[in-house]
Amino acid sequence: MPRFALSLLRHAKSIWDDPTLPDHERPLNPRGIKAANRMSRYLLEEGLLPDLVLAYDSVRTRATAALLFTPLDRPAPAIVYTNDLYLAHPDQILAVVRREAALREKTPPRHIMVIGHNPGLQQLALALPGSGRRPDVEHLALKYPTAALAHFTFDAKNWQAIAPGRAVLERFVTPKSLKD
């Protein structure tokens, strides 16, 4: 049976100091830029680069994706920006993943990354694992900070078959847990 991977990455920290700026337009702050660069190095070092990235089209999620994948020494993954991920519930996030994977049925991606927002991302990350490292699950349940990454694998015949309770949480990583 094929193995698929799904990574859930919360966008990096954004600026909140301008109350007139619409939520969609908030850029990353310096801490967010540093965290996204740290996660970029981690993804490359650990071989966790996705085939397909799905992200909300806000300024902060676009900036997070750019910082994650621009410095790579290989082509960046395909990135699909969709409003369907903004403040999405876990079922809606999974529906977007399944929809986008189905559009690529002839050559399905093996690893999809979602760059999104809380609380939906954390709720999905808590619903997916049927197994995994207990300390990672406990850490994830307490807090899902900005630029944190939850990485799951599924043994499934296709992306339509992935479901809550069927994943293995392979790792949960925060920028603070990584060394510069």
Q: What is the pLDDT of residues 30-52, one digit of tens each?
A: 999 999 999 999 999 999 999 99
**What is the reported pLDDT for 179?**
76
Distance, CA of 147 to CA of 161 (rounded, Å): 27
Give 86's contacts (C-beta < 8 A, 6+ positions apart).
Answer: 56, 58, 117
CB 38 within 8 A of CB 71: no
**In Å, how far from its chain's centre is CA 145?**
12
DSSP per residue, 156-167: -SSGGG--TT-E
pTM: 0.95
- Domain residue limits, the chain: 3-15+23-177
The tens place of each residue's pLDDT in the chain, 180 residues long, gives 569 999 999 999 999 888 888 888 899 999 999 999 999 999 999 999 999 999 999 999 999 999 999 876 777 899 999 999 988 999 999 999 999 999 998 888 999 999 999 999 999 999 999 888 888 888 899 999 999 999 999 999 999 999 999 999 999 999 999 976
- From the candidate CATH numbers 3.40.309.10, 3.30.470.30, 3.40.50.1240, 2.40.160.60, the one assigned to the domain spanning 3-15+23-177: 3.40.50.1240
User: Is the sign of the CA dihedral 28, 15, 122, 137 positive or negative?
Assistant: positive
